[in-house]
Chain A
Amino acid sequence: MAAKKAASKPNVSSDELTEYYREMLLIRRFEEKAGQLYGMGLIGGFCHLYIGQEAVVVGLEAAAEEGDKRITSYRDHGHMLACGMDPNGVMAELTGREGGYSKGKGGSMHMFSKEKHFYGGHGIVAAQVPLGAGLAFADKYKENGRVTFTYFGDGAANQGQVYETFNMAALWKLPVIFVIENNQYAMGTSQARSTSSPDIYTRGAAFGIKGEVVDGMDVLAVKEAGEKAVAHCRAGKGPYILEVKTYRYRGHSMSDPAKYRTREEVQRVREERDPIERVREMLLTGKHATEDELKAIDKEIKAIVNESAEFAKDSPQPAESELWTDITA
């Protein structure tokens, strides 16, 4: 598939476009660094990288307002960076250190920031879906006008609790946006082999929930769809489904043998649909930025990421006494 022309009416300023570039690049470089630290044994256990999917969270965060909430699965580093959490704190959690968001007790899959309204980081596929609806339930109860972005994947879309949640979210008109990040593979099982009907966005129809499909490799298209969904929720019309078609370049986790798809398939997406390259092209051809300016951004991002890696290596392991804290409040 050839890269589409950038959104037909790029209703976006140079500053905004540059900012999306910067945010997506931060996620990409951060994840590359995380992969590197994993290879060095500094990050342990499971580590799920977001490389390739950056436009999804950056586009949706552009549609969010202060106070809106977000919750996602274990592939969560991108969501945290996009909502403004500190790269040092995220990386130090990956290395299991005291300076991490959960003091090293959560790990890659379990981080939270009440300050940034980020509610995790959940390791059980689809468990975050009712939790996200519950956050929206609390907002509706408090009548505060907030919405919750509840992210899950095409794999999670086959879990029963998703449909239990769709039913109640529609019944109670909860202000929740269900963002299905369809990266086409549930771990190693392609959508064609796992999903009877490929159009996941239509699955809300049975509950009366509107859904649409979005090109998740186009940050502006994602933002536009996000704004529409947010407006729907804030108007009190209940939940909304966005199926965002995206692609993960790396394995499901670090220990993915990559036997379920061809190298050429991955390479083709990287070359033809890369979300960061697309914005880079737009910035240059639209004369929003010069090569030198972009190089400066690259350098700046590299420095942030390197600093986070240094912080994550230098931060001490949590004190042994931490074993016994935070079990009950």
Chain B
Amino acid sequence: MAIELLMPALSPTMEEGTLAKWLVKEGDTVSSGDIIAEIETDKATMEFEAVDEGVIGKILVAEGTENVAVNTAIATLLEEGEDADAAVTSSAAAPAEASSAAPATAKPAVAQEDDAPAPQMNLEPDWPEGTEVKQQTVREALRDAMAEEMRGNEDVFLMGEEVAEYQGAYKISQGLLDEFGSKRVIDTPITEHGFAGIGVGSAFGGLRPIVEFMTFNFAMQAIDQIINSAAKTLYMSGGQMGCPIVFRGPNGAAARVGAQHSQDYAAWYAQVPGLKVVMPYSASDAKGLLKSAIRDPNPVIFLENEILYGRAFDVPVMDDFTVPIGKARVWREGDDVTLVSFGIGMQYALEAADKLAEEGISAEVIDLRSLRPIDYDTVLASVMKTNRCVTVEEGWPVGSIGNHISATIMQKAFDYLDAPVINCTGKDVPMPYAANLEKLALVTTDEVIAAVKQVTYR
């Protein structure tokens, strides 16, 4: 049976084109790969190749014809021994239902939870009451977390710049080389894009890498591997291949290091499906969340803070202390306003809460800890109680975590709000070097207090 040659789609968006020129005539013999026509699309003139061998029977669309729709029969191709009037079978078994199918009835993400019960605050403590605690710095807690996980799983290793012999640019990996040797604590060259990719590949290959960025500013060199390779592969592989990896290092402003070394990436990473993002404030969270991150089967962005490294907090003395990713911590209960923060922002939120208490304003302070997934329930339950909310973060204001929290509160607890939510953020400028300007660029405790007074109409 003769085969119909159909007007081909020659680009992802082509719906019709011009049959510019026939390069064959009726009766010509063609074989696979021969150019038989030129077709003009909106972008270019393209060659149309025969994909079967045979003889051109009838030319059904004359050259020069414009607006020929994709999948229109333009000629017939005869097989050996057929004549031009032979019965015709379409080479297209069925038109593309893929492109014409009704679009998925996309529901906005929030609508999915319409029937969900009222949000409940999760106040379960991170460790059982009565557990012995010790004071430990964030730095020590991070090191202990890595060491414990490396003891427990041979596949866990640490790589990054100066993590081994130098003992860590910020001394986070102090002592790890001695305990685990150079096979598992690996100094890399200064080559973020390259070693991030090697780390991701090793995770595909079954290992559990911890990749340290000396600071997250340098991770921008590696952003393609983090987003396109690590975050998306599980989805693109239909669930076959995940990427258990932790990218960690200090994030945000340190002190007087200028614009290129002072940026908070929380909102950037939190936007990406496929990643988990955590940003601890305290030492116990640093430890418990890093241990969870190393065990997690997904890529986890673990955002630390240089200023917090030396600060000491209570850490429980337990054999295996972990904090689940995705659970906020309520640091302080209160009735008048909800302060939502994370990372070093917590310092300002807690200081503000102390000062506000002296003035008789009772603030509830929530540390998100995880930015993807976010513990929305705890935030919403709190706002439904206090009816007011101020968010606090160090990053830039546009597209901030605070913006997202505000939008969520508007959608789900609008009727509970007695004032607009205010986002306290870093200023919308690159970080200046001059001491006075840097101070102005950062969010401050006073700004948080002022925002609280605004939402409580005091």
List A residues at the B interface (Cβ < 8 Å).
Answer: 32-33, 35-36, 38-42, 44-46, 69, 71, 95-96, 100-106, 110-114, 119-124, 127, 129-139, 141-142, 160-161, 164-165, 167-168, 171, 249-250, 254-259, 263, 270, 310, 313, 317, 320, 323, 325-329
- B10 in contact with A133 (CB, 8 Å): no
Q: List 27 A-B contacts (CB under 8 A).
A: A32-B32, A38-B8, A40-B9, A40-B96, A41-B98, A42-B98, A44-B12, A45-B12, A69-B205, A95-B98, A101-B238, A102-B236, A103-B239, A122-B228, A130-B194, A130-B200, A134-B199, A141-B155, A165-B198, A254-B9, A254-B10, A255-B11, A320-B105, A325-B239, A326-B235, A327-B235, A329-B239
Query: In the complex, what distance in Å separates the CA atom of A294 from the CA atom of B84?
Result: 30
Query: In the complex, what distance in Å separates the CA atom of A133 from the CA atom of B196?
Result: 11
Given the complex, which residues of A lie within 8 Å of B8, measured CB to CB? 38-40
- A137 in contact with B205 (CB, 8 Å): yes
Query: In the complex, what distance in Å separates the CA atom of A256 from the CA atom of B274?
Result: 33
User: How many whole Å from B283's CB to the nearest CB in chain A?
Assistant: 27
Residue with the highest number of chain A CB atoms closer than 10 Å, among B45, B92, B99, B202? B202
- A112 in contact with B45 (CB, 8 Å): no
Query: In the complex, what distance in Å separates the CA atom of A35 from the CA atom of B46?
Result: 14
- A131 in contact with B200 (CB, 8 Å): yes
B45 (CB) vs chain A CBs: closest residue = A257
Partner of A317, one of B98, B188, B196, B200: B98
Partner of A255, one of B46, B91, B155: B46
Tell yes or no: B157 within 8 A of A by CB: yes
Query: In the complex, what distance in Å separates the CA atom of A302 from the CA atom of B44?
Result: 32
Given the complex, which residues of B lie within 8 Å of A69, measured CB to CB? 205
Partner of A135, one of B35, B105, B201: B201
- B236 in contact with A130 (CB, 8 Å): no
- B233 in contact with A120 (CB, 8 Å): yes
- A135 in contact with B228 (CB, 8 Å): no
Partner of A164, one of B11, B99, B191, B206: B191
- B44 in contact with A255 (CB, 8 Å): yes
- A137 in contact with B194 (CB, 8 Å): no
B230 (CB) vs chain A CBs: closest residue = A131
- B43 in contact with A114 (CB, 8 Å): no
Given the complex, which residues of B lie within 8 Å of A135, measured CB to CB? 201-202, 204-205
Given the complex, which residues of B lie within 8 Å of A258, measured CB to CB? 46-47
- A133 in contact with B198 (CB, 8 Å): yes
- B191 in contact with A134 (CB, 8 Å): no
Q: Mark B196-217, 1 if CB is under 8 A from A, else 0.
A: 1111111111110000000000
User: How many whole Å from B189's CB to the nearest CB in chain A?
Assistant: 6
- B241 in contact with A114 (CB, 8 Å): yes
- B11 in contact with A328 (CB, 8 Å): no
Query: In the complex, what distance in Å separates the CA atom of A178 from the CA atom of B92?
Result: 40
Partner of A168, one of B6, B198, B200, B240: B198
User: Which B235-278 residues have C-beta < 8 A from chain A?
Assistant: 235-242, 273-274, 276
User: How many whole Å from A68's CB to the nearest CB in chain B?
Assistant: 12
User: How many whole Å from A287's CB to the nearest CB in chain B?
Assistant: 26
Tell yes or no: B391 within 8 A of A by CB: no
- B198 in contact with A44 (CB, 8 Å): no
Query: In the complex, what distance in Å separates the CA atom of A171 from the CA atom of B182?
Result: 14
Given the complex, which residues of A lie within 8 Å of B101, measured CB to CB? 317
- A39 in contact with B194 (CB, 8 Å): no
Given the complex, which residues of A lie within 8 Å of B92, measured CB to CB? 40
Query: In the complex, what distance in Å separates the CA atom of A320 from the CA atom of B102?
Result: 11
- A44 in contact with B46 (CB, 8 Å): no
- B229 in contact with A39 (CB, 8 Å): no
User: How many whole Å from B28's CB to the nearest CB in chain A?
Assistant: 16
User: Which B95-148 residues have C-beta < 8 A from chain A?
Assistant: 95-96, 98-99, 101, 104-105
Tell yes or no: B70 within 8 A of A by CB: yes
Tell yes or no: B435 within 8 A of A by CB: no
- B229 in contact with A122 (CB, 8 Å): yes
Given the complex, which residues of B lie within 8 Å of A35, measured CB to CB? 49, 51
